[in-house]
Amino acid sequence: MTIHDVARSAGVSRQTVSRALNDKAEIDGSTKQRVLDAARELGYRPSRFARGLVRPDTTTIGLVVPDLLNPFFTEVASGALAAARRRGWHVVVHDTTDDPEQELATLRVIGTQVDAVVGYFSRSDEDLDRLTAGIPVVLLGREPRIPRFSGIGIDGEDGVREAVAHLVSRGHRRIGMLDGHPAPSVRQRWFRRAAAECGIAVHPGWVTGAAQTVDGGGTALATLLAAHPDVTAVFAFNDVMAIGALREARRFGLRVPADLAVIGFDGLALGTLVEPELSSVAVDTRALGSLAVEQAARLVTGATPLEPGELIIRAGLHLRESA
């Protein structure tokens, strides 16, 4: 919920809403009351910035990530910090260790201390709404179900399609996937659709799930190859898992890419530091963090928010040595 929503509900300008909420004398009492009633009905709580309690250079955004040891989230945080720095704003980063209870504890702490919340959450929108009442919220990696929330999405379907088509063009017909979710992830759905478009029937045993870690990727590949040693290429849920697969392939005595091609997802800088360098469906992680801060800034200051179609980061295939 933003100041624009209050203005529309009350039938006044954004400037009039600001004056009413800041108890300015330039508007009449009936208009002020209409604005206050609209704000109350909509559950709008003006930020510290909007209430004039802080200078722009003390505006603070709370960035919540599930695992700072995962370089994907570190790169996203880097983009967010750079974007905030350009505005003279501050970012407080919280690591929830991928624990839903820690998410709640974090929100209880920062709910009254920041001007906007940006982050990855597994809790329901209703839980988030309760603990961030009136504060702008920008969700990363998922679509919001509550109108006052905004969300930044990643569309990697075309990139996954490119990856599978490339593998097929190199002669691979037995392509597995290392998924990072117990239930089929959206990336697995992209993978299966891309394989079907290329005329590849994915055997049920060609997809294995594991933790989204280096060890998880290694374990998943070992499980896959033990059951299906004829698999000649794998697509991993993320680059971290793919790097684990590279390590495990060496343990199996496999040459990458001659015996086994490997493609990850994320496009992390870390992928250029391994041997062989990792091919990946790459996301501009810094642009993701920057876009989230840009949307949060618009919500905090009352500027026109970006439309949903402008809040998508698209991923594309970056070929390196592993495929």
Q: What is the CATH number of the domain that holds 300?
A: 3.40.50.2300
Residue 50: inside a domain: no
Note whether residue 247 is domain-resident: yes
Query: pTM of the predicted model, to two decimals?
Result: 0.82
Among 181, 318, 167, 194, smallest CA distance to 256 is for 167
Report residue 33 as tokens. Answer: 């009351």
The residues with which 178 forms a beta bridge, in sequence order, are 208, 236
Whether residue 147 has a cis bond before it, omega within 30° of 0: no
Both 197 and 299 in one domain: the answer is no
- Evaluate whether residue 267 is within a structural domain: yes
Q: Do 24 and 49 form a contact (C-beta atoms < 8 A)?
A: no
Closest CA to 235 of 289, 305, 308, 315: 315
Residue 140 covered by a domain:
yes
307 lies in a domain? yes
Provide the pLDDT for residue 4.
72
Q: Can you give the pLDDT of all 323 residues of the chain as single tens digits? A: 667 778 888 888 777 877 776 666 678 878 878 887 887 777 666 655 454 444 445 789 999 999 999 999 999 999 999 999 999 999 999 999 999 999 999 998 887 789 999 999 999 999 999 888 878 999 999 999 988 899 999 999 999 999 999 999 999 999 999 999 888 999 999 999 999 999 999 999 999 999 999 999 999 999 999 999 999 999 999 999 999 999 999 999 999 999 999 999 999 999 999 999 999 999 999 999 999 999 999 998 889 999 999 999 999 999 999 99
For 40-93, the pLDDT digits (tens) are: 777 666 655 454 444 445 789 999 999 999 999 999 999 999 999 999 999 999
Is the residue at 51 inside a domain? no
Q: Please indicate, yes or no, whether residues 129 and 274 belong to a single structural domain of this protein.
A: no
Quick one: CA dihedral 189, 194, 196, 197, positive or negative?
Answer: positive
Examine residue 161 and state whether it is found in any structural domain, yes or no: yes
DSSP-assigned beta bridge partners for residue 90:
60
Residues 150 and 297 in one domain: yes
Distance CA 53, CA 48 (A): 5
Q: Give the pLDDT score at 22.
A: 65
Q: Say whether both 60 and 15 belong to one domain.
A: no
pLDDT at 203: 93
- Total structural domains in the chain? 3
In a domain, 262, yes or no: yes
Q: Are residues 33 and 131 in the same domain?
A: no
Claim to verify: residue 33 and residue 140 sit in the same structural domain: no
User: Does residue 276 have a cis bond before it (omega within 30 degrees)?
Assistant: yes
Whole-number pLDDT of residue 243 = 98
Query: Rounded to the nearest 5 degrees, what angle is found at the Cα of 48, between the Cα atoms of 43 and 50?
Result: 75
pLDDT number for residue 45: 62
How far is 263 from 170, CA to CA, in rounded Å? 13
Residue 318: per-residue pLDDT: 98
* Residue 30 structural domain: 3-42
- Are residue 219 and residue 198 in the same domain, yes or no? yes
What sign for the dihedral angle of Cα 78, 84, 90, 92? negative
Q: Are residues 29 and 16 in the same domain?
A: yes
Is there a single domain that holds both residue 24 and residue 122?
A: no
